[in-house]
Amino acid sequence: MSFAATILTLYPEMFPGPLGISLAGRALAEGKWSCEPIQIRDFATDKHRSVDDTPAGGGAGMVMRADVLASAVDDAVARHPEVPVLAMTPRGKPLTQARVRALASGPGVTILCGRFEGMDERLFEARPIEEVSIGDYVLSGGEMGAFVLLDACIRLLPGVMGAPSSGDEESFESGLLEYPQYTRPQLWEGRTIPEVLRSGDHAKVEAWRKSRSEADTRSRRPDLWERHEGARVQSPSGARLKKKD
């Protein structure tokens, strides 16, 4: 069964956009996933087809209306009742590779894209919607976030990546950053590829990669390293073991 992506947006013409080329584009053409952008404005009820109004309490910009968004979400849920609904918002839970993997193994995803100052909070109280952020910065709309989320999911769908193991060792899969990669030429601007990678000794290569993966995670992403180490020193019963230095 194909992975069904439904995108609720004020700019349906943006899709599939960059997802129509390369790996994702091929997978789309092969029917491994489907892309159905839906115009939120079609669910407006007034003659001006308004989707937003001024913020309660005052302030700059406009806020997307809960009633219009709820109608759009309900319509998507009626089409794909088994698919989770996610809303793009900087107030959401940061997207992780683990969440991407879980979504990719499911039937699809419905993504609600915000614009303006965001969406009326009552929508999230009234509907089971998972609020997702793609990082601690502010985009002008949720569509870019939808591209990020969909791209991350699509490459994990069965048969999309060349080798079935391509994704296994990548950054975040084991809670660590991936080791650095090199390719020919062997000498470039006076710099060589680490000797061990040219040794042909698979055990040594594996040990080098593991140690670089750990060292780089430790220095570049102390937050990831701390979480990884925390999980490692946790006993099966959940009690914390004494951490070795």
- Which residues of this protein are in contact with ligand SAM, per CB under 6 A? 88-91, 113-115, 117-119, 133-135, 137-142, 145
Neighbour tally for 107: CB within 10 Å: 14
Could you give the strand order of the β-sheet that contains 108-112, starting from the edge strand earlier in sequence?
33-39, 3-9, 108-112, 85-94, 130-133
Neighbour tally for 23: CB within 10 Å: 15
CB of 51 to ligand SAM, least distance (A): 12
Residue 211 tokens, joined: 């140690």
Whose Cβ is closer to ligand SAM: residue 25's or residue 141's? 141
Pairwise CA distance, residues 95 & 89, whole Å: 11
CB of 148 to ligand SAM, least distance (A): 8
CB of 94 to ligand SAM, least distance (A): 9
CB of 21 to ligand SAM, least distance (A): 23
Neighbour tally for 215: CB within 10 Å: 14
CB of 137 to ligand SAM, least distance (A): 6
Pairwise CA distance, residues 85 & 76, whole Å: 9
Q: Determine the residue with CB nearest ligand SAM.
A: 114
Looking up tokens 């701390």 gives 226
Pairwise CA distance, residues 202 & 208, whole Å: 10
CB of 99 to ligand SAM, least distance (A): 13
The pair phi, psi for residue 40, each rounded to 5°, is -60, -35
Residue 121's closest CA among 60, 56, 38, 37? Answer: 56
